[in-house]
Structure 1
Amino acid sequence: MTTVDQQQRQGPPAPRRRSRRDEILEIAVGLFAARGYHGVSMDDIGSAAGVTGPALYHHFAGKEAMLVAALIPVSESLLHGGKARVGQHPEDASAALADLIDFHVEFALANPAVIALHLHELDRLPEEPRRQIRRLQRLYVEEWVGVLAMLRPELDAPEARVLAHSAFGLMNSTPFLGGEVDRRRRAALLREATMHALTGR
């Protein structure tokens, strides 16, 4: 039996099991987003995660380390994902923009707590990780600016940058959206509003 046959009989590989560290970080992010950074103690996080103090410090040096661990990988992931989607459409700016919007809307719907954390708590970080995150964000914005420059040559780079930031304001509104509208419809509305904001159509 070939390796391909064996894989087909076995089915798709099981998803990677989340580590205890990932679980604790997700709980911390949710608490920070709900109560604010200063409204949450390490004891609060440990209690919510069912972890004692010493075990908690085995994973993170403190709240600041949790904030860094939550925000830097997200910024890296957005940049890499944005580059990948733009790279799939080197000659088609319309398709690249639609792919970027789909990508970011899905991120925003899946991670409202992380977005809230970024909006309200980024300045709590020390200078170096804060600078790193800002740099990653600027590079991600420039992926959007490059696509908009191809799609709308009447815009100069600063104007395209204004539109890109306005699009993020729309898409990153997910922490403030209630559950009255189901997720699929919310995604469609956010995609439509963002496309209209960027292209006027």
Structure 2
Amino acid sequence: MSTDVQAAFGAGRDGYPDVPVPRSAKGGRRRLSIMAAAAKLFRERGFANTTTDAIGEACGVSGPAIYHHFKNGKQQILAELIWEIGDELRQAVGKVSNASLSPYEQLELFLRAEAGAIHANPDIFPLIFTEDRYLRPEDLPVTLERRRYFIALRASLIRAVRPDLDHQELSTMSVTVQFVLGGTTFNMQDPDTGRVQEQTVQMALALVRSTPAGAPSPQASAR
């Protein structure tokens, strides 16, 4: 495993931005049901068109009761949904740190873990890109830091497979790979999520193996 990847995983949090979630916010079935209902409504209607009353109705509580669990209302719910999938992604890809595999096998394992976390949360993943503009100003910096964390981590693994790519190409490919893995969650029609998930992993790996326009092929560079 490359030094960059080891540094990204390593021991402890290793630069993964933490968020200040109040102790009272952790756990609780009611709280989780509110978040699940909100995620579905945010995805279907959009954040701006979803009221706290609608969220409450969807999970069997009154709109005002939402504020008992989320002091800042639906903006806090949105932030915590986005942070939650980040935590799940971090846990899912952590298994790569203990894998004695080739660079390509490490990348494949990483992408499978990432795709699994994304497709396990089909209502949440699209919110990262479609609704993040509604985050409170104080919640936006850590959200962006987490996004950059995963872009850099993915790019480190891709670089081990594609050392011919420059920094900009690696960054662009890292972002594109994430969209390939999660793009189907924006308009999921196929109920066979396992099949779709496998297809996205294979497409992401094919993208990594491809050569940017105008660049020499990896085989040519090795000659």
Same fold (TM over 0.5): yes
2:67 is equivalent to residue 66 of structure 1: no
* 1:78 partnered with 2:104: no
Matches of 1:71 and 1:139 in 2, distance apart?
14
Give the percent of matched residue pairs that are identical in Structure 1 and Structure 2. Answer: 24
Query: Equivalent residue for 1:143?
Result: 153
CA distance in 1, matches of 2:191, 2:87: 30
More helix as a share of residues = 1
Q: Return 5+ residue gaps in structure 2 as ranges.
A: 1-26, 212-223
What amino acid sits opposite 1:81 in the alignment?
A
Contact conserved, 2:103 with 2:161, CA < 8 A, in 1? yes
Task: Work out which of the residue numbers 197, 201, 206 in structure 2 matches 1:191.
Answer: 201
Aligned residues: 184
Q: Which residue of 2 aligns with 1:155?
A: 165
Matched residues in 2 for 1:45 and 1:181: separation? 25
Q: Does 1:89 align with 2:99?
A: yes
AA aligned opposite 1:32:
F
* Cα displacement string for residues 57-109 of structure 1 (whole angstroms, at most 9, x for unaligned residues): 21112111111111122223323433x23312366211210111101211222
Using a 3 Å threshold, how does the CA distance of structure 1 residues 18 and 194 change in structure 2: closer, same or farther?
farther
Distance in structure 1 (CA, Å) of the matches to 2:84 and 2:197: 23
Q: 1:45 aligns with which of 13, 32, 55?
A: 55
Q: In the alignment, which residue of structure 2 is the partner of 1:109?
A: 119
- The residue identity in structure 1 corresponding to 2:201 is R
Give secondary structure in 2 for the equivalent of 1:189. helix
**For the structure 1 residues 87 and 122, does the alpha-carbon distance in structure 2 shift closer, same or farther, using more than 3 Å as the test?**
same
Equivalent-residue separation in structure 1 for 2:204 and 2:171 (angstroms): 14
Residue ranges of structure 1 left out of the alignment (5+ in a row)? 1-16
Q: Mapping of 1:156-171 within 5 angstroms?
A: 156-171=166-181
Q: Where does residue 35 of structure 2 map in the other structure?
A: 25
1:122: which partner in 2? 132
CA RMSD in angstroms comes to 2.1
Deviation at residue 54 of structure 1 after TM alignment: 4.1
Deviating more after overlay: 91-100 vs 191-200: 91-100
- What is the TM-score with the length of structure 1 in the denominator? 0.83
TM-score of the pair, normalised by structure 2 = 0.75
